[in-house]
Chains A and B, each alone.
Chain A
Amino acid sequence: MSAMKIRKNILTLHAKEIAIRNLFGFFAFLSVLLLGLILLFLFREGLPLFKKISLADFLFGTAWYPTYEPPEYGIWPLIVGSLAVTFFASLIAVPLGLLSAVYIAEIAPTRIKEILKSIIELLAGLPSVVLGFFGMVIVGPWLQETFDLPTGLNIMNASVMLAIMAIPTISSLSEDALYAVPREFKEASYALGATKYETIIRVIIPAALSGVSTAVILGMARAIGETMVVLMVAGGAAAIPEGIFDAVRPMTASIAAEMGEAPFRSGHYHALFATGIVLFVITLAFNLIADYISNRFRETGSGTL
């Protein structure tokens, strides 16, 4: 090959590389741009509400009567509703998700491990409307009868359904974190005369703690942002609940249920977008906390030679 030809080949190679880099850059930029546009839209449609009422009245007002005359836009009952179902869902999903992760990552024999992993993946793939349907038709009536309640669609029902949705997130992310614990730590523990369970509790879980906490927080973020399930099984009452068998109306349910009937750019319309902003801020906070934890507690590797 002549020198000319080689030069030409190098040039085309170089041009290709630049083209590929730009292509990737373009798509990365595109997703950022899209996110930015959505945010812009959210704020443009939500912020006008605060010409009518103050932020404090909006956040902490206890009456949500957006269609009354005069309307009231207090979303405190909706926030409490969201937090209540998320809290109780976490109470169920965190222990179950973590225990299953530990079992899958450290204890289960290979075959059972594979089976469990596919079941959990299946759970993650379950459409939320199916889950909501299940809650509505099976769990709801059962709760109503067993506990003699006015309605089986309540915090309890929604929490259980949300927990089922959050478990796969918590379990598979925690499992990854547990797998990532270096083998050297485990060997060191065994060589010091620790049993398997002592090793899991004292070495593996602590070493995976940052990843595990991230998993928990992302699981909770998933629960708080979930819409269809709570729309179907939380009961829909925009009142501050007094017990776990009370019906609630989480923010997501409110937005989904009412957006269709709110007149374009009415107070109600703006209030629903403002609720969306609150939801966005909460989820963002969850993600930032998860991020902070995973950076803050990340252990420097063992081989700092």
Chain B
Amino acid sequence: MEKDFIIRTKNVDFYYGAFRALSDITMDFEKNKVTALIGPSGCGKSTLLRLLNRMNDLIDGTRVEGEILFEGRNIYAPDVDPVEIRQRIGMVFQKPNPFPKSIYNNITYAPKLAGIRESGEIEALVEESLKQAVLWDEVKDILTKSAMTLSGGQQQRLCIARALAMKPDVILMDEPTSALDPISTAKIEELIDTLKKHYTIIIVTHNMQQAARISEYTGFFYLGKVIEFNVTEKIFTNPDVKQTEDYITGRFG
């Protein structure tokens, strides 16, 4: 069967000013699968992730070379609106970052921007997103309370719900569990597992077990390059490159 790749990067180089943070990245991300990006700190995982929804546009003096195709269209083409790209490719950050607004208003932020006004539709969307993020039961009675009063794990699930309410096609997650306790982490991993039926997920993680548990594909990065990109099982049991093996077995910085 022909695989359906939703995002493809072709020979992508990326510069912060004169510093080249990524070199020659060519990767295909399969639709409705989880792809994990691993590698030592500073190797460019977050940079790549932020390239995929044009978040790096917000940093002055950056430059992209090569092509990043989202459903076949180069998202860095001059006629592409980054706002539209970000609406279709959601993002969850390392540190939970809910707005200092009510739980309800956190979820409705993106839909309202997108022009959904009808209150019945909005309410349904809030409930649906919170249920998808397995947060509904915990917050259904306190929707008007400030999101800041939630625990870190709840905040992170709220951020996931907030991204889901936008109905994106892809969700990028940058170490979404690194600030969380094991129970919250387990919840979010479960969540990722159910989400992949409808969404393509690309996740950065420093936790090898996590990558092995939740992803179908894994890419190993080192110094701004993809060292190895393959099916997760292959990467973790029988990698082709020695460096990959050294890294996942912990014999490497």
Mark A residues whose CB is within 8 Å of B: 182, 184-185, 187-195, 198, 202-203, 206-207, 299-305
- Please, what's the 1-or-0 string for B168-184, where 1 marks a CB less than 8 Å from any CB in chain A? 00000000000110000
Are A187 and B152 within 8 A (Cβ)? no
When distances are taken between beta carbons in the complex, the residues of chain A under 8 Å from B53 are: 191
When distances are taken between beta carbons in the complex, the residues of chain B under 8 Å from A190 are: 55, 58, 86
* B102 CB to nearest chain A CB (Å): 12
Are A192 and B100 within 8 A (Cβ)? no
The interface stretch among B19-27, B36-44, B159-167, B239-247 is: B159-167
- Among the listed A193, A202, A302, which residue makes an inter-chain contact with B86, where contact means beta carbons less than 8 Å apart? A193
CA distance A193 to B167 in the complex (A): 11
CA distance A206 to B106 in the complex (A): 13
Are A203 and B99 within 8 A (Cβ)? yes
When distances are taken between beta carbons in the complex, the residues of chain A under 8 Å from B91 are: 191
CA distance A189 to B87 in the complex (A): 11
When distances are taken between beta carbons in the complex, the residues of chain B under 8 Å from A193 are: 83-84, 86-87, 110, 113-114, 166
When distances are taken between beta carbons in the complex, the residues of chain B under 8 Å from A192 are: 86-87, 90, 109-110, 113, 162-163, 166
Are B100 and A207 within 8 A (Cβ)? yes
Q: A191-B163, A302-B155 are in contact. List 4 more A-B contacts (CB 8 A).
A: A184-B95, A207-B100, A303-B95, A303-B96
CA distance A304 to B93 in the complex (A): 15
- Asked whether B213 is an interface residue with its Cβ less than 8 Å from the other chain, the reply is no
- Asked whether B197 is an interface residue with its Cβ less than 8 Å from the other chain, the reply is no
CA distance A301 to B149 in the complex (A): 10
A192-B166, A193-B114, A305-B152 are contacts. A185–B86 as well, Cβ < 8 Å? no
- Asked whether B224 is an interface residue with its Cβ less than 8 Å from the other chain, the reply is no
When distances are taken between beta carbons in the complex, the residues of chain B under 8 Å from A202 are: 109, 113
- Asked whether B97 is an interface residue with its Cβ less than 8 Å from the other chain, the reply is yes
- Asked whether B101 is an interface residue with its Cβ less than 8 Å from the other chain, the reply is yes
24 of the cross-chain contacts (CB-CB < 8 Å) are A187-B55, A187-B93, A188-B97, A188-B99, A190-B86, A191-B53, A192-B90, A192-B109, A192-B162, A192-B166, A193-B110, A202-B113, A203-B99, A206-B100, A206-B101, A207-B99, A207-B100, A299-B146, A300-B100, A303-B152, A304-B149, A304-B152, A305-B96, A305-B151
When distances are taken between beta carbons in the complex, the residues of chain B under 8 Å from A188 are: 93, 97-99, 159, 162
CA distance A302 to B98 in the complex (A): 7
A202-B109, A305-B152 are contacts. A194–B83 as well, Cβ < 8 Å? yes
Residue with the highest number of chain B CB atoms closer than 10 Å, among A182, A192, A206: A192
CA distance A32 to B111 in the complex (A): 53
CA distance A202 to B87 in the complex (A): 17
When distances are taken between beta carbons in the complex, the residues of chain A under 8 Å from B95 are: 184, 302-303
CA distance A130 to B178 in the complex (A): 59
- Please, what's the 1-or-0 string for B209-237, where 1 marks a CB less than 8 Å from any CB in chain A? 00000000000000000000000000000
- Asked whether B69 is an interface residue with its Cβ less than 8 Å from the other chain, the reply is no
- Asked whether B148 is an interface residue with its Cβ less than 8 Å from the other chain, the reply is yes
- Please, what's the 1-or-0 string for B96-137, where 1 marks a CB less than 8 Å from any CB in chain A? 111111000000011001100000000000000000000000
* B227 CB to nearest chain A CB (Å): 28
CA distance A230 to B90 in the complex (A): 56
Are A299 and B152 within 8 A (Cβ)? no
- Among the listed A198, A299, A304, which residue makes an inter-chain contact with B113, where contact means beta carbons less than 8 Å apart? A198
Are B100 and A185 within 8 A (Cβ)? yes
When distances are taken between beta carbons in the complex, the residues of chain B under 8 Å from A303 are: 95-96, 152, 179
Are A184 and B97 within 8 A (Cβ)? yes
Residue with the highest number of chain B CB atoms closer than 10 Å, among A182, A193, A203, A299: A193
Sorted from nearest, which 3 A-B pairs have the closest CB atoms?
A: A193-B87, A305-B152, A184-B97
When distances are taken between beta carbons in the complex, the residues of chain B under 8 Å from A185 are: 97, 99-100
- Please, what's the 1-or-0 string for B45-69, where 1 marks a CB less than 8 Å from any CB in chain A? 0000000010100100000000000
Are B97 and A187 within 8 A (Cβ)? yes
Are A184 and B110 within 8 A (Cβ)? no
- Report the nearest A residue to B54, measured CB to CB: A190
CA distance A253 to B179 in the complex (A): 59
* B85 CB to nearest chain A CB (Å): 8
